Amino acid sequence: MKKNWVLIVVVCVFLIIFGMVLSANLRKITENALAPLSDSTNAMKTQVAKVLHPTPTIIPDPVTIINEVRSLARLETIQYSVEKIITADSGQEVLTKLFGDRLLFVAHGVVIAGIDLNQLETNDLSLRNGILTITLPEPEVFIATLDNDKSYVYDRQTGIFTKGEVDLETLARQAAEEEILNAALEDGILKQARLNAEVYLERFFDALGFEDVIFE
C-alpha cells in the first residue's frame, strides 16, 4: 500500500514537471509564431508614420551663379550673440480664434562689427618725431544675421477657418534680425569695436617697431 502511494506521488510530480516544460515550450512556440506578425505590424506603423509625417527632401539646384567677387580687408574686432523673443500675429484681434494667426519665435542672432581697412588712405597715417598717428575709419557692422541652427518657432496658433499667413514666419525673422541689430547698437557695439581695433593695431605696430602710436 505504501509503495502505491509513493508511485502515485512520483507520477504526480512527473506530470507537474512535464506540464511545466510543455507549457514553456508552447509559450515559446507561440511567441515564435507571432513574432513575424508583430514585426509586420511594427513595419506597417513605421510606413504609416512616414506617410503622415514625411521627412523633407532638400534638393539644391546644380546651377550656381556667382554675381560678384570682392577683395576685403575687414578687421573684425567684436562679436555679439543676442537672443530675442518675437511675437507675430495677423492682426485679427477680434476674430483671432476664427481667422487669426499668431506665432512665438525664439531668435538667436550674431552681430559682428569692426573696421574696414580698405577705407584707410595713405594720408591717414603720419610719422613725426617717432610718433605714428593713425586716423581710423568709422567702425561699422559687418554682419547682423540669425543663427538658423538655434532659432525656431516655439508656438503657433491658427484660427479654425484659416491655414495661417504664409509670410508670417518670414516677417518674424526679418523683425528679429532688425531687433538683434538694434540691441547690439544700443549696447555700444560700435564703440567697443573701435576700442578693440585700436588695441589690436597698437600691438601690431608695436611689433613693427613703432612704440608710440596715437589714434585720431
**What is the pTM assigned to this prediction?**
0.66
Cβ(112)–Cβ(79) below 8 Å: yes
Dmax (CA) for the chain in angstroms is: 132
* 114 shares a domain with 22: no
Task: Give the integer Cα–Cα distance in Å for 134 and 212.
Answer: 11
How many domains is the chain partitioned into structurally?
2
Task: Give the integer Cα–Cα distance in Å for 181 and 190.
Answer: 11
* 195 shares a domain with 148: yes
Between 12 and 132, residue with greater pLDDT:
132
Q: How many CB atoms lie within 10 A of CB 69?
A: 5
Helices (H), 53-143: 96-99
Q: What is the mean pLDDT of residues 41-61?
A: 62
* 13 shares a domain with 95: no
Q: pLDDT-based confidence at 3, cuts 50/70/90? A: very low
Q: What is the mean pLDDT of residues 66-73?
A: 74
* 102 shares a domain with 62: no
Q: pLDDT-based confidence at 54, cuts 50/70/90? A: low
Angle between helices 189-207 and 168-186 (to 10 degrees): 60
Of 25, 54, 69, the residue that ends a domain is 69
* 141 shares a domain with 34: no
**Domain assignment of residue 31, given as a range:** 1-69
Task: Give the integer Cα–Cα distance in Å for 101 and 194.
Answer: 43
* 90 shares a domain with 54: no
User: Where is 10: in which H helix or E strand?
Assistant: helix 2-52
User: Tell me: the pLDDT tens digits for 177-197?
Assistant: 999 999 999 999 999 999 999
